[in-house]
Amino acid sequence: MRIVITGGAGFIGSHLGDRFLAEGHQVVALDNLITGSLANIEHNMGNPNFEFIHHDVSNFIHVKGDVDVVMHFASPASPIDYLKYPIQTLKVGAMGTHNALGLARAKGARFVLASTSEIYGDPLEHPQKESYAGNVDPIGPRGVYDEAKRYAEALVMAYHRYHDLETRIVRIFNTYGPRMRLDDGRVVPNFIGQAIRNEPLTVYGDGAQTRCFQYVDDLVEGVYRLLNSDFSEPVNIGTTREISIKEFAEIVNKVADSDAGIIYKEELRIQGDPQTRQPDNTRAREILGWEPVVPLEEGLKKTIAYFRKVS
């Protein structure tokens, strides 16, 4: 298959590209490098099955030749990034999704949207099932990301229903691993960076807010299975091991062998920061036979080793 991955030089997009190349497919990575990096794909440069096109997918997308799959993974993804690029985030969720869908339709390709647990906002249902419509403040600071993704999902379903396009929607929960940017502001690179510098970890608020952290290899496996399924409704992909951010900080300090402790930074907590988040991943288990397999401590060890190498 020939697979176009928008955001192919990003954290998740580059891991997806590696997986498809390893399975013998061809990959075309489209990226404008706004939050990604060529370093994430430099090991594939020179591979005849790999092509990189520097392009902003919020503008019309030209790809020559046949395309079997379009995976739309382009978007600033960390809260720091989408607060820095609010308009670009809205555009890539709206126009970028439209262009990527248009490409898929023109080529007769299958389409996969990278959606997010953020479409549930600060959830009032716990854990979150795919049927939950969410609790999002459209004009809050996180609205630029959440609403862009909600619009993107609506557009994907419209192409599916009205153009009979083969589509998939993956609602990705917090994912971490090598190739995250050390300065992307998300909790995993922040904590690991601080721990390897032997600085205290900055917990925003009281640290009682919860998340579930999945290792990138588990996510890639889930996306791969979803692509190969015939299921067009959204599917949550995430682990169910829910921990508070305070507990997460303690685990990172332990795994990184840092004794610098924790400091609390109430003022750095972004308004609308979800208090809880945990996927109900029954659908992924039943439909895809998927289950996350990498324990947090093991994934963290690999990620810490990566950050030690690049920093």
Chain contacts with ligand UDP (rule: CB under 6 A): 78-79, 174, 186-187, 190, 202-204, 209, 211, 245, 269, 273
Residue closer to ligand UDP, measured from CB, 17 or 143:
143
Residue closer to ligand NAD, measured from CB, 35 or 258:
35
Chosen residue from 3, 5, 28, 34 binding ligand NAD by CB under 6 A: 34
User: Collapsing DSSP states into helix, strand and coil, what is residue 202?
Assistant: strand
> Is residue 276 close enough to count as binding ligand NAD by CB under 6 A?
no
Backbone angles phi, psi at 263, to 5 degrees: -125, 150
Partners of 3 in the β-ladder: 27, 69
Among residues 85, 145, 176, 215, the one annotated as catalytic is 145
> Is residue 63 close enough to count as binding ligand NAD by CB under 6 A?
no
> Is residue 109 close enough to count as binding ligand NAD by CB under 6 A?
no
In whole angstroms, the minimum distance from the beta carbon of 198 to ligand NAD comes to 26
| Residue 12 site contact among ligand NAD, ligand UDP, none (CB < 5 to 8 Å, cut-off depends on kind) | ligand NAD
Q: Where are the beta strands (DSSP E) in 56-160?
A: 69-72, 110-116
> Is residue 175 close enough to count as binding ligand NAD by CB under 6 A?
yes
Angstrom distance (rounded) from CA 70 to CA 111: 5
Angstrom distance (rounded) from CA 49 to CA 59: 25
Distances (CA, A) of 108 to 57, 145, 266, 269: 19, 29, 50, 44
Angstrom distance (rounded) from CA 249 to CA 192: 9
Nearest residue to ligand NAD, by Cβ distance, number only: 36
To the query of whether residue 306 is one of the catalytic residues in this protein, the response is no
- Who's near 136: CB < 8 A, 6+ residues apart? 118, 119, 120, 121, 122, 142, 143, 146, 147, 150
Chosen residue from 26, 116, 128, 190 binding ligand NAD by CB under 6 A: 116
Residues marked active site are found at 145
Residues that bind ligand NAD (CB under 6 A): 6-7, 9-13, 30-36, 56-58, 73-77, 92, 96, 114, 116, 172, 174-175
